[in-house]
Amino acid sequence: MQIRPILAALKSHRAAVTLLVLEIALTMAVLGNLVFIVHDGIRRAHTPTGVAENQIGFIQSIGVIGAKSASTTAGDLAALRGVPGVEAAAYGGPPLWYVERDAAFAHVDRLHRVARIYEFEGSRGLSKTLGLHVVEGRDFERSEVPVMGQMDEHTQFPVLVTRALAQRLFPDGSALGQLFYDGNATLRVIGVVDHLRGRITGHEDDDYSAVIEYGVGKGHMGGGFIIRSRPEQLDSVLKQAAIALSKADPQHVQNRVMTFEQMREHYFRSDLAVGRMLLAIVLILMIVTTLGVTGLANFWVQQRRRQIGMRRALGATRGDILRYFQLENFLIVSGGVLLGAICTYGLNLFLMHRFELPQLPPIYLLVGAAVLWGLSQLAVFGPALRASRVPPVVATRSA
């Protein structure tokens, strides 16, 4: 079937064709970017933090202003470790909670920042409680961990760093034994862990993290307490640990008691809600576009009954009529897809600049084009089938 006669016929319906092309282009631009945003949100929601997520429970214990407590942080940790089923406990913050972020420098002059890093600070045993996987070097030794109240500006802190941070700070060699600096302290790398993400935003620096441990001494602090237990026991053990901590430190109020998996669910709750809303918008757009193609095809069938009858009288088969409408629709949609590809990248550039979204992979354009082509062919099939069933005699008489 020749394309030139189809293009010539479309020129007589320029307004309708233009509107349909613009509708398809807009649908493709919005569809591609929305699906990309939803997929990126789902991917981030399933990105591991690097800790033993299904084994960790968290208790946030906050001191009451003006209340005095005879307990110590060391005593609180001892109470937690005494709970049956608790394999490890530490004072500190887990990922996806409040974790201090600081600048990291390669030189002591601190003139040129190399990266911004998440600093997981906590008591002895923090890395063990989090279940970090050391891939190079070693974990902390008790004798080298400084004690609170005995630290000053000359204290050199042993730290664990993530593989991503080690490569960022020391791209030319091993990070083990190397020194780097945050805003206040000197840090010495003793080991490298696989991953430890302070946040999950999709950016590379989510995995720029360091773990610093210290002895809590005789001090008393409110904040986060982390326990580790077997996955099947975690819920019950966490409840018992919260009771034990409340008894050991009755002057503190427990603001949060949750497993890490519950913390992750809370962290991504709004993102997943937005994702569901965007998927609803995508579905609405696809329905509107399909109805637009179907409506226009029905209109053209009504307007071309005489033309269809003449073609049938001159020997055109029902299959020829069916293919004519499908090819005509394919050409219109192809024009919309080409314009939509430009609009898609234009919208993506705006989102990258305005909301720091990643660049849209080309696969989304291909999938979007294929979806629109498929939907349009399905949408035009009914009207095209009705057109192919128009008898030559009836069509000629209707003129």
pLDDT on residue 69: 65
Show Cβ contacts of residue 376 under 8 Å, excluding neighbours closer than 6 positions: 24, 289, 290, 293, 329, 330, 332, 333
Confidence of residue 389 (pLDDT cuts 50, 70, 90): confident
Q: What is the Cα–Cα distance from 353 to 362, expressed in whole angstroms? A: 18
Neighbours of 354 (CB within 10 A): 8
User: What does the mean pLDDT of the chain come to?
Assistant: 91
pLDDT of 395 above 60: no
How do residues 57-71 score in pLDDT, each as one tens digit? 999 988 765 556 668
pLDDT at 3: 81
**Which residues are within 8 A (CB) of 391 and not within 5 positions of it... i.e. 6 or more apart?**
309, 312
| Confidence grade of residue 399 (pLDDT, cut at 50, 70, 90) | very low
Region of 131 on the Ramachandran plot (φ > 0 left; ψ -120 to 50 alpha; else beta): left
For the residues 99-105, what does the mean pLDDT come to?
A: 95
Residue 361 DSSP SS3 = coil
Q: Which of 6, 10, 19, 3 is nearest to 293 (CA)?
A: 19
pLDDT tens column, 69-96: 668 899 999 999 999 999 999 999 999 9
Element (H, E) at 6: helix 4-11
pLDDT at 305: 80
CA angle, 121 then 124 then 129, to 5°: 85
Q: Which residues pair with 102 in a beta bridge?
A: 117
Phi then psi dihedrals of residue 219, to 5 deg: -75, 170
What is the distance between the alpha carbons of residues 305 and 321, in angstroms, rounded to a whole number?
11
Side-by-side strand order, sheet with 223-228:
88-91, 223-228, 56-63, 252-259
pLDDT at 228 over 50: yes
Count of C-beta atoms within a 10 Å radius of residue 196: 28
**At a CB cut-off of 8 Å and minimum separation 6, what does 154 contact?**
none
Other C-beta atoms lying within 10 Å of the C-beta of residue 193: 26
Give residue 65's pLDDT.
Answer: 54
pLDDT value at 394 more than 70 = no
Digit-coded pLDDT (tens) for 154-198: 899 999 999 999 999 999 999 999 999 998 899 999 999 999 999
Q: Which of 339, 322, 336 is nearest to 380 (CA)?
A: 322
pLDDT of residue 14: 86
Residue 16 predicted with pLDDT over 90: no
Run of H or E including 225: strand 223-228
Q: What is the pLDDT of residues 237-282, one digit of tens each?
A: 999 999 999 999 888 888 899 999 999 999 999 999 999 999 999 9
| pLDDT tens digits, one per residue of 281-297 | 999 999 999 998 998 88
Give the pLDDT confidence of 338-368 residue by residue, as tens digits. 999 999 999 999 999 888 888 999 999 999 9
Cα(225)–Cα(77) distance, integer angstroms: 8
Buried b / exposed e along 83-118 (16+ C-beta atoms within 10 A): bebbbbbbbbbbbbbebeebebbbeeeeeeebbebb
Q: Give the global pTM.
A: 0.83
Q: Which residue has the higher pLDDT, 391 or 138?
A: 138
Is residue 396 over pLDDT 60? Answer: no
* pLDDT at residue 398 greater than cutoff 50: no
Q: What are the DSSP calls for 156-205, one per residue?
A: EEEEEEEHHHHHHH-TTS--TT-EEE-SS-EEEEEEEES---S--SS-GG
**Residues 346, 29: contact at Cβ < 8 Å?**
yes
